[in-house]
Structure 1
Amino acid sequence: MPTRLKDIANALDVSIVTVSKVLRGKTDVSAETRDRILRKMEELNYKPNMIARGLASGRSLTVGLVVPDIADPFFAELARSLGAHLRRSQYQLLLASADESPAVEQHEIENLLQRGVDALLIASCQTDPASLNSALARSTPCVLLDRALPGSNANFVGTDDVLAGRLATEHLLSLKRTRIAHIGSEGTSTANDRLLGYREALAHRGIPADPALTLACDLHSGRPDLLGYNAMRRLLERPEHPDAVFCYSDLLAVGAIRAAREFGRRVPEDIAIIGCGNLPISAYLEVPLSSMDQGTAELGEHASSLALQLIGSKTRSKPRSVLISPRVVVRASTGLPRA
């Protein structure tokens, strides 16, 4: 017979209510009692009946997450961070991928809402805030994640992408690079903000932004590494090629490095390259990639905490916005400053 709350309470001579409070993460139980109960749960291999808990609380104990592309390692890392934090509060993460399609995204949002998720996290590929109005108008708490939608009245947790673009470009400028290109994306707040930061850093040094050195990739059209490869080839085929490149993502940067080396350019001696995302694999590439760390673990922690706060709130509060500060991680693809 499965272990019951009553069995744990009897074994420790405490009330069922006290055991239930520990299970639900309540704070009005002493640390000593909480530790005793948790140890006994582990000892007796207690498994809570999630369906019964959901019926009793009126909640599904699930949080939905919609990402643009689950194959993107950044969103996979973000989902892992979210799941880990939600599990601590006995919540389960339900994951859906929009495959960078606004129509698929809306379909997945409806599916998760129909499943009765207690909150919805969306890293949206929409470009029009009105497209999400129906989801935001529901009673289910909603948090936009990573990608903001200017004009939408929604909670948001993301990275300060303007700062990311500025810091990446300032790092390349500190290496005495003078023709800095940007291989970006299009249509999202992250792409627009990183491009803005890139331009701000150049303007601060009195360097005019050369339109010929700014390329935007359509992430709907293919693999990011191949898009970065083709973009870099276009830059290198021009008479005056760049001596440094800031890429919108690490995956674009991987392709850019491959193209540069095929053209006989040394990285970083001839061309310094920095990405964005600081994926775990970036440190183990043939040329370890410098990157902007977006604080993926912090994003997951803040987003899950905000979602749980909204679930526990009985009234709708004013939308909140949380921005994580990025940091530069320097590796071999940018190297040391030139003499």
Structure 2
Amino acid sequence: MRRISLGVVAAMLLAAAPAAAADKVTFRLNWIAYGFHTPFYLGLERGYYKDEGIDLTIGEGQGSVRAVQTVGAKGDTFGLADGGSVVAGVSKGAPVRAVMAITSSSPYALSARADAGVRTLKDIEGKTVASAPGEAGLQLLPALFARNGVDASKVKILRVEGAGKMVAVAEKKAEALMAGLDNQSITLPRQGVPLVDFGYAANGVNTMGLTIIANEDTIKSNPDLVRRFVKATARSFEAALKEPEASVKAGQKVKPDMEADLAMAQLKAGVALMNSEASKSLPLGQFALKDWQDTIDLMKQYQDLQTDKPADAFFTNAFAGKGGS
């Protein structure tokens, strides 16, 4: 009988051993899938999450507030939510924390018809601005006006439901609207209504943008899972930055009705918001304390936020960039 070396036996046993089961993870988007969500689908398609031992399911969302609630209740492992919703939720007891920055600049904008004669924010005086009731951009509009010398009493607010604000501007019932740089600022010009955008962040009123959130229990009990998810997500966005066309195509495979040109414009708009002035020198995914502090200060002054928590109670840099290596 031929002898079999111990090394060969060990190799045979290793090959026969079942592979470790991947962690089943659910990730809740902040809204219906659109262009800037496609890097997540690119990472899923290319196996970046699988490489980190994660069996990922991505679900569309119904707003950042809902994502905070769902992750807080452990209905999803991770979620995508804007910083303001994280601050509001945590201040009311939601056990979540932001673990990775996706966009550190606010997407909010006051956007005016190009033919309305609005060249500076001061020019909005005497004009009508269409807005949906309760949207965060409207609540922070007084801050935008105050920091840019606009007399708020000279601006009329037309409150309309949902997409009605785009209709109001298209039909010239309002000269401007509360917009998102990655949303209405793209879609209205594509419908034949050119706009002039006044981004909040570019005009002195920045709030923390989109973040990856996790339940505090997950962070404490399974920090390695959080680290691996953040690592795969960073890899996904790095790939999307290099190959945006591939990112859009990955999104279309999951959502066939996604229009390529619009999705590309949304992706590029989101990429432009990834860094803030405070975070531009930080590694991908890390937070700048100033962005959170600015968000909290604005919410306390204009949105009646009640909290005594410090800014670093809402996020951690333990998993992104050098913190996650």
What TM-score comes out, normalization by structure 2 length? 0.43
Greater relative contact order, per chain length (Cα 8 Å cut-off, separation 6+)? 2
- Which structure has the larger Rg? 1
What TM-score comes out, normalization by structure 1 length? 0.41
